[in-house]
Structures are given as structure tokens and as C-alpha cells.
């Protein structure tokens, strides 16, 4: 892994800053408080997010609501970009969603997803996701100065536990702890199972007794089933006979029903024949009466005109009469008018005088003659109308008589036809009555000789008795079967229980062997392996620790080594000296040598991690003399990392690094410049 660039926005004292990191050694230089360490914390945050010792509140700039860090780095010549964001919510600062860029392809990720992505990418063990995810990073790439000091002077058990986790040796301790927990559970299981096996002999005896009872019950049940089977055969035989009798009885009932039906039919036909004979007696008086009435129409004369012709002639004559009356009325009015003019001597309308009274009088007389003639003709017409109406009335009487005659003739024909039909039906009824009588006599004889009903009752009674007995046998069989099922269920329950207890016994023996193996072999083996692994690591660690310290402090009067708890031991002038009594430079030398040894051992032990090419040193030369500063240069050359980032305010380091990035703070805002 090689860091190429980091961009900060509203992170601690930075508002907006981008810092490039070339390969080789790079010094982050500046006064105390200028913002150098913030860059290292920002790298830590970009890779692993908010974690213990690195809160969002400590990273987000005061007064800002949002901030972010974007880190660009290479792994195996492939560029990756990861961005994480912070957002202030009420009284807390929380990590917001971010993203990663791989070959220009963006993928949005939650904080947890981004952490998983980085751990997998850096080749760190998967369990790092659930533990302190940056632990390996902290002891191989970047360890804050104050944290390194706490490792050296902290509790040795805590330090040893951290070392176990860093080197991955804690798995042996976890296996021992888990095995211890497991053996306790196994012992508990053994006690539990042992208690449940106390009644196994008794249950086995009960199982044998249940098997014997089952065999005995099976014999009794077999006898009961045979008895039911034999009784069923007798019942079926009786049922077959009863079925045959049922068929015969149904035939008997059908004949009886047919006889009753014939008798009923005979009675109906007989009643009908008597009714017909009574009706035939009434026909003759009715026919004689009709003949008498027909004789009254013997002298009936026909008319030569139809009713329509007579109506038309009357209508014409009435029209003539109305015309004559109208003409007479006109003439009467004319005569009255002329007489009035003659009397006055002049016309009241036009005022013209009568010139010739004699001639005018002659005109009136002529009009009077016409009036009389019209009146006479009107009387003749009225007489003719009366005559025609009398003729029409006679014609209507004729037609009415003719219609009445026709009705009588039709009535006579109907009576004759009905009489003929009734006489024919009477003959047919007589034949039917004879046929029914013959059939009824045959059926009556057959019904009289049939004994099926009596035998049917006898067999039905026998069958009822047989089924009653069979029912009793079946109830006895059912009771035996239920008893057999109860025994079978009890047997299955006991067999299952005994089998389960035998399996539990075998399992208990297995648990006991497993518990013994874990306690006597596995757990001591894990402890031995852990001691050997830690001893090998401690030996290599101690060798490197002494090497780096000797390079930094080339003084034969002071030596260092690592004990079995990975605690640094200092020997000065032949006497053991506590770390706390060392000078500042000596403490820094011990811390740096410890740091470099830790880095080397972890990188050698964990082959797959991708952070072997980079190391970040935070104030590694605090309190060093000029000679020790030169020694640091030799150390860096021997480390030969592709990328080394050093945070220091020592000016001398400028002379032996490849690149320098300087930092300054003005008005509470940090900035970087080359």
C-alpha cells in the first residue's frame, strides 16, 4: 500500500486542504499544533472510520456541520479512492455514508461496509472486523506517540493480551477458554444424563413385560377375530336369503299393488259405464223435442233481396224524402216573401215597387202549385219508406228463424254424434271390464297362495339375532384391539425411552471421553503451542529490538531486551533500570526500537497484509541528540520502505528525507505547502 493523496474538508484545523504523498521518505514538518498529526488521524479515519480513541467530535471542525476525508492510495499498482463523511446531528457527530472508487468505478457504502472493504483489501484477518479493526495497522504502519508510550509502561497482562491479538496468537488462548467453557458444559451434560439414566434397568424390565403382554394379547385378539369372522359369514348368508325373499316380497307387493290398481280401475270404468247408460236414456226426449221445434219452420219462405240491398234502397229513398222536404221548405219561404211584397206593393230589401200586381200574383200561384206537387211527392216517398222498412223487418224475422232452425239442426247433429260416441265407449268399457276381471282373478289366486311375507319375517328375526351376537363379538374384539393398541403405544413409548436412554448413555460416555481429552490433552497442547509460538516471536522480537536500539543508541553501557511478557528491560552500567528513570531521548529510543521491531515481526508473521511497503513515524526523534539523529538516518536506509512518512519538527531530518511538506496555522486554520 502506497498513499498518494489525502483531501480534508472541515477536519479539525483544516477547512479545505489536499496533501500529495510521493514515494520514498516524506517529512511532515511544522511547529507544534500546526496540524501535522491531524493528517495522520485523517488517514486513520479514511481507512477505518470512527473507532475507539478517534471520535467524530474530535475530528469535525468546530462550528462546521459537515466534513469529509478522501484518501487516494495504490495497492499492487491499482488505484483506490475512499471517502468518508461526518455530519453534526443535534449534540453528536455521526459518520455519514461514503464511497469507494476502484478503476474509476464508484460504489456507495455504509460505514460498516467501507470498513469491511478496507480490511479485506489490506489483507487483514477477517476477525479484525469484529475486533479493533485498525489494531494491525496501528502496530505495523502508524502508532500515535502517546499510545506507544502506554504500551511500554502499561499493565503487562494487558500488553501481553494486545500482543497475542496483534500476532494472531490469541486464537490459542481463545481455544483454551472455549475448551474450558465446553468442558464445563460437557461435565454438566454428563451429570444431567447420568441422573436421567438411574431408572434405565427398571424401564428395560417394564419393556420386557410389555412385550410379553403384547404376545398374550395378540393370541386373544386372534381368537376374537376368528369368532367375529365366522359370525359375519352366518350373517352374510342370512342376508343373502333375506335379499332373495326381499325380491320375492317386492314381487308380491307389486302384484298386490297391481290387484288394487285393477280393482280401482274396474270401479272407475264401471262407474263410467253406468254414467254413460244414464246419459243415453236422456238423449231420445231431447231429440224428439228438437224435431217438434223444426216442424214449425216447414212453411218458411225465402226472400229475394239481401239485407244489404234493402238497407241501400231505404237509404236512397230517405235521401229523396229529405231533398223533397228541403225543396218544400224553400218554396214555402219564397211564397211567404212574395206575398209580403205583394201586400206592401214594394220590396223591403231593395225598395223596388210591384209594377204588375196581377202578373206578380200569377207568379205566386205558380210557386204554390210547385209547393203542393213537392209536398205530394214527399208523402209518397214517406209511404214508400214505411213499406220498405216493413219488408226489411219481415226479412230480419226470416233470417232470425233461419238461424234458429240452423241451431236446432246443429244441436240435433251434436246429440246424435254424442250418442254414437257414448254407445261406442260403452261397448269398449264393457270389453275392458271383462279383461280387468280376468286379470284380477288370476292375481287374487296368486296372492292367496303366497307365503313369502311369513318367511321374510322369520328370516329377518333370525338375522337380527345373528347381528346382535356379532355386535357383541365385535365389541369384545374392539376392546381387545384397543387394549392391544394401548399396549403397543406403551411398548413404543418404553422402547423409545429405553433406546433414547441407551443413546444418552453412549453420548454420556462420549462426552466423558471428550471432556477427558480436552482437559488432559487439548488444553495443555494449546497452552504449549501458545508458549512455543510466543517464545519464537519473543526471540525474534527481542533480537530486532536490541538491533534497532543499538543502532540508535550506540552506547555499550546501556542495553535493552524483551522479557516473556514483551516488557522492555533496560540494563545500564550492569544494573537493571526502570523505563521511567530513563532520559527523554533514551525513552524515545526504546519506543522507536520497540515500534520498529513490532513492525518487522508482524509483517514477517502475516504474509498476506498489503501494508508492508509503508510506515508512518509520529515524532520518532523527540529528545534525540545530533548523533542519534544521524543514527535515525541509517535506520531509515536499512528499513528500505517504498514509502516512509515522518511527523517531526526537527529540522535535521530535512537533510536525509526525499520530500518535505511543511505545515503552518494562521487564524486557527492549518495549511500545507512544499
Q: What is the mean pLDDT of residues 202-215?
A: 82
Question: For the chain, first and last CA: distance in Å?
Answer: 23
Query: Can you give the CATH number for the domain in which 24 is found?
Result: 3.40.50.300
**Nearest one of 185, 204, 202 to 193, comparing CA atoms:** 185
Distance of alpha carbon 606 from alpha carbon 612, whole angstroms = 10
What is the grid cell recorded at 299? 212453411
67, 98 contact by CB (below 8 A): no
**Nearest one of 643, 559, 565, 563 to 593, comparing CA atoms:** 559
Q: What is the mean pLDDT of residues 466-484?
A: 84
Out of 449, 482, 516, a domain closes at: 449
Strand partners of residue 575: 572
Residue 632 located in a structural domain: yes
Out of 449, 476, 498, a domain closes at: 449
> Among 2-6, 292-296, 474-478, 515-519, where is mean pLDDT lowest?
292-296
Query: Cβ-count burial of 360 within 10 angstroms (0-12 exposed, 13-18 middle, 19+ buried)?
Result: middle
Q: How confident is the model at residue 84, as a pLDDT?
A: 95
**Length, in residues, of the chain:** 674
Q: How confident is the model at residue 298, as a pLDDT?
A: 65
Distance of alpha carbon 641 from alpha carbon 580, whole angstroms = 31
Residue 264 located in a structural domain: no
Top mean-pLDDT range of 345-354, 419-428, 550-559: 550-559
Quick one: residue 503, left, alpha or beta (phi over 0 = left, psi -120 to 50 = alpha)?
alpha
Residue holding cell 474530535? 58
Q: How confident is the model at residue 42, as a pLDDT?
A: 95
Q: What is the mean pLDDT of residues 31-49?
A: 91
| b/e sequence 333-342, b meaning 16+ C-beta within 10 Å | eebeebeebe
Q: How confident is the model at residue 88, as a pLDDT?
A: 92
Query: Cβ-count burial of 159 within 10 angstroms (0-12 exposed, 13-18 middle, 19+ buried)?
Result: middle
Distance of alpha carbon 70 from alpha carbon 56, whole angstroms = 15
560, 573 contact by CB (below 8 A): no
Residue 565 located in a structural domain: no
Please tell me the pTM assigned to this model: 0.53
- Which band of pLDDT confidence, cut at 50, 70 and 90, is reported for residue 128? low
Distance of alpha carbon 554 from alpha carbon 557, whole angstroms = 9
| Cα angle, residue 488 at apex, residues 482 and 493 outer, rounded to 5° | 130
- Which band of pLDDT confidence, cut at 50, 70 and 90, is reported for residue 447? low
Angle between helices 357-449 and 307-344 (to 10 degrees): 160
Q: How confident is the model at residue 379, as a pLDDT?
A: 85
In angstroms, what is the C-alpha Rg of the chain?
A: 71
Q: Is 78 helix (H, G, I), strand (E, B) or coil?
A: strand
Is residue 129 scored above 60 in pLDDT?
no
Q: What is the mean pLDDT of residues 588-605?
A: 87
Distance of alpha carbon 495 from alpha carbon 483, whole angstroms = 18
| Arithmetic mean of pLDDT over the chain | 84
Is residue 227 scored above 70 in pLDDT?
yes
Distance of alpha carbon 188 from alpha carbon 433, whole angstroms = 107
Residue 47 located in a structural domain: yes
SS3 per residue for 442-478: HHHHHHHHCCHHHHHHHHHHHHHHHHHHHHHHHHHHH
Beta strands in 183-252 (DSSP E): none
Q: What percent of the chain has pLDDT over 90?
A: 18
Is residue 444 scored above 80 in pLDDT?
no
Q: How confident is the model at residue 74, as a pLDDT?
A: 94
Q: How confident is the model at residue 47, as a pLDDT?
A: 92
Report the domain count for the chain.
2
- Which band of pLDDT confidence, cut at 50, 70 and 90, is reported for residue 478? confident
What is the grid cell recorded at 348? 223591403
**How does strand 92-102 pair with strand 105-109?**
antiparallel
| b/e sequence 161-180, b meaning 16+ C-beta within 10 Å | ebbbbbbbbbbbbebbeebe
Is residue 139 scored above 90 in pLDDT?
no
Q: What is the mean pLDDT of residues 333-340?
A: 82
Q: How confident is the model at residue 585, as a pLDDT?
A: 85
> Among 78-87, 179-188, 399-408, where is mean pLDDT lowest?
399-408
Q: What is the mean pLDDT of residues 225-249?
A: 83
Residue 52 located in a structural domain: yes
Residue 324 located in a structural domain: yes
Q: How confident is the model at residue 274, as a pLDDT?
A: 83
97, 109 contact by CB (below 8 A): yes
Is residue 249 scored above 70 in pLDDT?
yes
- Which band of pLDDT confidence, cut at 50, 70 and 90, is reported for residue 145? low
Distance of alpha carbon 652 from alpha carbon 630, whole angstroms = 9
Q: How confident is the model at residue 302, as a pLDDT?
A: 62
What is the grid cell recorded at 324? 223533397
Is residue 225 scored above 90 in pLDDT?
no
What's the sign of the alpha-carbon dihedral 622, 652, 35, 119?
Answer: negative
Residue 640 located in a structural domain: yes
Query: Cβ-count burial of 91 within 10 angstroms (0-12 exposed, 13-18 middle, 19+ buried)?
Result: exposed
**How does strand 2-11 pair with strand 14-20?**
antiparallel
Please give the order of strands across the beta sheet that includes 78-89: 14-20, 2-11, 66-75, 78-89, 92-102, 105-109
Q: What is the mean pLDDT of residues 3-9?
A: 96
The larger pLDDT score, comparing residue 47 to residue 281, is at: 47
Is residue 125 scored above 80 in pLDDT?
no
| Cα angle, residue 93 at apex, residues 89 and 99 outer, rounded to 5° | 100
Residue 115 located in a structural domain: yes
Which residue range forms the structural domain that includes residue 657? 1-141+611-674
Q: How confident is the model at residue 320, as a pLDDT?
A: 86
How many CA atoms lie less than 13 Å away from 349 in the CB half-sphere? 4
Out of 400, 426, 449, a domain closes at: 449
Top mean-pLDDT range of 290-304, 334-348, 574-588: 574-588
Q: What is the mean pLDDT of residues 426-451?
A: 78
Amino acid at each position: 500500500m502506497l498513499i498518494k493523496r489525502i483531501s480534508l474538508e472541515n477536519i479539525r484545523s483544516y477547512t479545505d486542504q489536499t496533501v500529495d504523498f510521493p514515494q520514498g521518505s516524506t517529512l511532515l514538518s511544522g511547529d507544534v499544533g500546526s496540524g501535522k498529526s491531524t493528517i495522520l488521524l485523517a488517514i486513520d479515519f479514511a481507512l477505518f472510520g470512527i473507532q475507539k480513541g478517534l471520535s467524530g467530535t474530535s475530528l469535525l471542525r468546530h462550528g462546521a456541520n459537515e466534513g469529509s476525508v478522501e484518501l487516494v492510495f495504490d495497492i499492487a499498482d491499482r488505484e483506490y479512492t475512499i471517502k468518508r463523511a461526518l455530519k453534526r446531528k443535534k449534540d453528536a457527530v455521526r459518520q455519514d455514508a461514503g464511497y469507494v472508487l476502484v478503476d474509476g468505478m464508484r460504489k456507495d457504502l455504509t460505514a460498516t461496509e467501507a470498513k469491511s472493504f478496507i480490511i479485506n483489501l489490506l489483507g487483514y484477518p477477517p476477525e479484525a472486523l469484529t475486533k479493533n479493526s485498525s489494531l494491525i495497522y496501528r502496530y505495523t504502519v502508524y502508532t500515535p506517540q502517546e499510545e506507544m508510550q502506554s504500551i511500554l509502561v502499561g499493565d503487562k497482562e494487558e500488553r501481553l493480551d494486545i500482543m497475542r491479538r496483534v500476532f494472531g496468537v490469541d486464537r490459542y488462548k481463545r481455544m483454551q477458554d472455549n475448551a474450558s467453557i465446553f468442558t464445563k458444559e460437557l461435565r454438566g451434560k454428563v451429570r444431567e444424563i447420568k441422573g436421567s439414566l438411574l431408572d434405565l434397568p427398571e424401564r428395560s424390565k417394564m419393556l420386557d413385560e410389555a412385550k410379553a403382554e403384547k404376545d398374550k394379547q395378540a393370541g386373544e385378539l386372534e381368537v376374537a377375530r376368528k369368532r367375529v369372522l365366522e359370525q359375519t359369514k352366518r350373517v352374510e348368508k342370512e342376508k343373502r336369503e333375506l335379499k332373495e325373499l326381499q325380491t320375492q316380497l317386492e314381487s308380491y307387493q307389486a302384484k298386490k299393488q297391481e290387484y288394487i290398481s285393477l280393482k280401482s280401475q274396474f270401479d272407475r270404468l264401471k262407474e263410467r259405464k253406468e254414467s254413460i247408460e244414464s246419459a243415453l236414456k236422456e238423449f231420445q226426449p231431447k231429440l224428439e223435442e228438437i224435431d217438434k221445434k223444426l216442424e214449425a219452420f216447414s212453411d218458411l219462405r225465402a226472400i229475394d233481396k239481401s239485407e244489404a240491398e234493402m238497407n241501400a234502397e231505404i237509404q236512397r229513398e230517405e235521401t229523396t224524402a229529405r231533398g223533397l222536404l228541403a225543396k218544400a221548405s224553400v218554396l214555402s219561404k219564397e211564397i211567404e216573401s212574395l206575398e209580403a211584397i205583394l201586400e206592401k206593393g214594394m220590396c223591403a230589401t231593395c225598395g223596388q215597387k210591384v209594377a204588375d200586381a196581377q202578373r206578380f200574383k200569377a207568379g205566386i200561384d205558380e210557386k204554390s202549385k210547385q209547393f203542393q206537387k213537392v209536398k205530394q211527392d214527399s208523402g209518397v216517398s214517406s209511404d214508400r219508406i214505411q213499406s220498405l222498412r216493413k219488408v226489411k223487418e219481415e226479412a230480419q224475422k226470416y233470417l232470425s228463424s233461419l238461424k234458429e232452425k240452423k241451431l236446432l239442426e246443429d244441436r240435433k247433429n251434436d246429440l246424435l254424434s254424442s250418442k254414437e260416441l257414448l254407445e261406442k265407449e260403452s261397448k269398449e268399457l264393457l270389453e275392458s271390464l271383462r279383461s280387468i276381471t280376468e286379470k284380477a282373478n288370476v292375481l287374487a289366486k296368486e296372492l292367496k297362495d303366497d307365503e313369502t311375507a311369513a318367511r321374510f319375517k322369520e328370516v329377518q328375526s333370525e338375522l337380527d339375532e345373528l347381528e346382535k351376537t356379532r355386535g357383541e363379538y365385535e365389541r369384545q374384539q374392539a376392546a381387545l384391539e384397543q387394549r392391544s393398541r394401548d399396549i403397543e403405544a406403551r411398548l413404543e413409548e418404553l422402547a423409545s425411552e429405553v433406546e433414547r436412554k441407551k443413546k444418552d448413555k453412549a453420548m454420556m460416555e462420549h462426552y466423558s471421553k471428550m471432556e477427558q481429552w480436552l482437559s488432559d490433552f487439548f488444553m495443555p497442547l494449546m497452552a504449549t503451542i501458545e508458549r512455543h509460538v510466543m517464545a519464537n516471536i519473543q526471540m525474534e522480537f527481542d533480537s530486532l529490538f536490541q538491533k534497532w536500539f543499538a543502532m540508535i543508541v550506540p552506547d555499550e553501557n546501556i542495553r535493552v531486551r524483551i522479557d516473556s511478557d514483551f516488557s522492555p528491560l533496560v540494563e545500564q552500567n550492569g544494573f537493571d533500570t526502570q523505563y521511567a528513570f530513563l532520559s527523554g531521548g533514551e525513552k524515545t529510543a526504546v519506543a522507536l526500537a520497540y515500534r520498529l521491531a513490532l513492525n518487522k515481526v508482524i509483517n514477517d508473521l502475516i504474509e498476506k497484509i498489503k501494508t508492508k511497503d509503508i510506515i508512518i513515524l509520529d515524532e520518532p526523534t523527540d529528545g534525540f541528540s545530533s548523533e542519534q539523529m544521524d543514527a535515525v538516518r541509517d535506520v531509515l536506509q536499512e528499513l528500505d520502505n517504498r514509502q516512509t512518512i515522518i511527523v517531526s519538527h526537527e529540522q535535521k531530518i530535512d537533510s536525509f528525507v526525499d520530500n518535505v511538506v511543511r505545515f503552518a496555522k494562521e487564524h486557527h486554520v492549518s495549511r500545507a505547502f512544499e
